[in-house]
Amino acid sequence: MTSKPSESPDPDARPQRRTFSAEFKAGILDEYDAAPDAAARGAILRRERLYGSPILDWRKARDAGAAAGLTDRRQAAARAAKKTENAELARLQRQNARL
């Protein structure tokens, strides 16, 4: 069985993970909960290209009273601060190694 050589994929062509704002999540939850039957809920999921598991997670966060739970933790300010802190730490470690 012969196989033709595969082309190396362009690393920039990798799909990006979608992120959703808290307003979008809340809107989808409201619309999903107001849907009269399973067919309408499925149509909403297909339209937005979502699976049911994010809906369950978003609903759980909303019901826990955590409006902040609907925000994306990967985009949080604490993560950005930690990233800059780690960059500063790496810079200082390089500087110490040179000395």
pLDDT tens per residue, range 4-41: 555 666 666 777 888 888 899 999 999 999 999 999 99
Average pLDDT over residues 75-99: 79
Calpha distance 25→13 (Å, rounded): 27
- pTM over 0.85? The answer is no
Give the pLDDT of residue 70: 62
56-65: pLDDT as tens digits: 999 988 888 7
User: Encoding tokens for residue 45?
Assistant: 């999921």
User: Encoding tokens for residue 85?
Assistant: 């802190």
Q: How far is CA 71 from CA 14, 15, 77, in A?
A: 24, 21, 11
User: Around Cβ 62, how many Cβ atoms within 10 Å?
Assistant: 18
Residue 17, classed as helix, strand or coil, is coil
What is the percentage of the chain residues whose pLDDT exceeds 90?
A: 35
